[in-house]
A and B are shown apart, each in its own frame.
Chain A
Amino acid sequence: MAERSNSEEVKLLGMWASPFSRRIEIALTLKGVSYEFLEQDITNKSSLLLQLNPVNKMIPVLVHNGKPISESLVILEYIDETWRDNPILPQDPYERTMARFWSKFVDEQIYVTAMKVVGKTGKERDAVVEATRDLLMFLEKELVGKDFLGGKSLGFVDIVATLVAFWLMRTEEIVGVKVVPVEKFPEIHRWVKNLLGNDVIKKCIPPEDEHLKYIRARMEKLNIKSA
């Protein structure tokens, strides 16, 4: 394990229930990097957050030796390039490109589409669920013959796609719509089990009970009807 961590200062401005924040914690933990976690209140943004991310004003923000980096996918690449143990991106240029492609797909397509369910009911909600399922089918196909999206072991896309495994799929319980039924998505369900077999993942995802409570409260606030 790299000896550098003693003299380096790593801070993470994040939020315990945010998938974008948790993915950074997963990456840092996989690489054995010690960091100070600064929990942020996103409803009442701190002056520190606004100073470190004046452009987007969002978490997560990684601060390494006083220098801030924002945007979770950018932070993940930075972490991989700075702490070289346990690489999370593949070495091969084409595989690396595919990892970036699928990560972008999770954040810009799956996440954005799934979020459209907010405030929708009936036919409109069904349409969003259908659209989300169509997108998830691409991940389903990617997982055929693989233990993880990264192949034999956990990689960049798996870390990003924890958003699907532990946020989107946890929301199902509360919203009462099985967006990812096991009959339609056996590979995704198998992949979630594989993720849960990994100690770092288990350690770094939000504890289920607290998380479900939080999601329920947030949904109520955002006015999403539960079953």
Chain B
Amino acid sequence: MASSDVKLIGAWASPFVMRPRIALNLKSVPYEFLQETFGSKSELLLKSNPVHKKIPVLLHADKPVCESNIIVEYIDDTWSSSGPSLLPSDPYDRAMARFWAAYIDEKWFVVLRSFLKAGGEEEKKSVIAQLEEGNAFLEKAFIDCSKGKPFFNGDNIGYLDIALGCFLAWLRVTELAASHKILDEAKTPSLSKWAENFCNDPAVKPVMPETAKLAEFAKKIFPRPEA
């Protein structure tokens, strides 16, 4: 299929955009990356995602697909014969992957994002405590899902690895801002090892933003509140 058949509207710093990029890489699907300018929304984006007006949007033969985790499932379904499956085959295991992905977006990431907006020390401490509690859940989830293999999805990166792993660069930026290790090998050894494996994966490396560059960007979009 010609690469012009698959386009992705996104931005380099967005963890949500990283998700379909990793999925497309895992399936060896070439695509055209249409980078949005921060602070404005292109006509194409507004036309392709009139409901949410957000990135990422996958355009497959001009048909738009929106919502990052939904796009990942679409990629898995559409290019099912290419590369390993992104979701397990057993319905219960699939349900676990979807459950944890929903948890990550609705609870874990909401807390992570709130740190960079948090005001005083007390608020920051509370956010860190919540994140660490979440990490404890995810450590157990990883042990249950991976069944001794390196990734949530087993031998290969999959839907849930992508759902969580996309936030690792932002997590590191938050750790820098907090001067505190949030993902701690001592507390969550399996999750920490997983994070390392995830970041080193060839499908992930090219699209994971550099921590320093992301930290600079974060300063721009989350100006520090007055002390």
Q: Using a CB–CB distance below 8 Å, which chain A residues touch chain B?
A: 55-56, 64, 67, 69-71, 73-75, 77-78, 81-82, 93-94, 96-97, 100-101, 104-105, 109, 138
Question: Nearest Cβ in chain A — how far from B1, in angstroms?
Answer: 14
Do A94 and B63 have beta carbons less than 8 Å apart?
A: yes
Question: Nearest Cβ in chain A — how far from B161, in angstroms?
Answer: 18
Q: In chain B between 51 and 95, which residues have their CB closer than 8 angstroms to a CB of chain A?
A: 51, 60, 63, 65-67, 70-71, 73-74, 77-78, 91-92, 94-95
Question: Nearest Cβ in chain B — how far from A197, in angstroms?
Answer: 29
Chain B residues near A109 (CB-CB < 8 A): 51
Question: Nearest Cβ in chain B — how far from A76, in angstroms?
Answer: 10
Do A71 and B99 have beta carbons less than 8 Å apart?
A: yes
Do B137 and A97 have beta carbons less than 8 Å apart?
A: no
Do A77 and B94 have beta carbons less than 8 Å apart?
A: yes
Q: Which residue of A lies closest to B49 (CB)?
A: A101
Residue from the list B67, B78, B94, B96 in contact with A104, Cβ < 8 A: B67
B103 at the interface (CB under 8 A from A): yes
How many of chain B's residues have a CB under 8 angstroms from any CB in A?
A: 23
Residue from the list B63, B77, B78, B103 in contact with A56, Cβ < 8 A: B103
Q: How far is the CA of A69 from the CA of B60 in the complex (A)?
A: 32
Chain A residues near B99 (CB-CB < 8 A): 69-71, 74
Chain A residues near B66 (CB-CB < 8 A): 101
Residue from the list B73, B94, B103 in contact with A100, Cβ < 8 A: B73
Main secondary structure of the interface of B (DSSP, over half): helix
Chain B residues near A97 (CB-CB < 8 A): 65, 70-71, 73-74, 77
Do B92 and A74 have beta carbons less than 8 Å apart?
A: no
Chain A residues near B74 (CB-CB < 8 A): 93-94, 96-97
Q: How far is the CA of A93 from the CA of B71 in the complex (A)?
A: 11
Question: Nearest Cβ in chain A — how far from B132, in angstroms?
Answer: 15
Main secondary structure of the interface of A (DSSP, over half): helix
Residue from the list B65, B78, B91, B137 in contact with A78, Cβ < 8 A: B91
Q: Using a CB–CB distance below 8 Å, which chain B residues touch chain A?
A: 51, 60, 63, 65-67, 70-71, 73-74, 77-78, 91-92, 94-96, 98-99, 102-103, 107, 137
Do B98 and A77 have beta carbons less than 8 Å apart?
A: yes
Known: A93-B74, A96-B73, A101-B67. 15 other contacts (CB 8 A): A56-B103, A64-B92, A69-B99, A71-B102, A73-B102, A74-B95, A77-B98, A78-B94, A78-B95, A81-B94, A94-B60, A96-B74, A97-B74, A100-B73, A101-B66
Q: Which residue of A lies closest to B74 (CB)?
A: A97
Q: Which residue of B lies closest to A83 (CB)?
A: B91
Q: With A55-B137, A105-B51 in contact, do A82 and B91 touch (Cβ < 8 Å)?
A: yes
Question: Nearest Cβ in chain A — how far from B53, in angstroms?
Answer: 12
Do B78 and A69 have beta carbons less than 8 Å apart?
A: no
Do A104 and B70 have beta carbons less than 8 Å apart?
A: yes
Q: Which residue of B lies closest to A91 (CB)?
A: B77
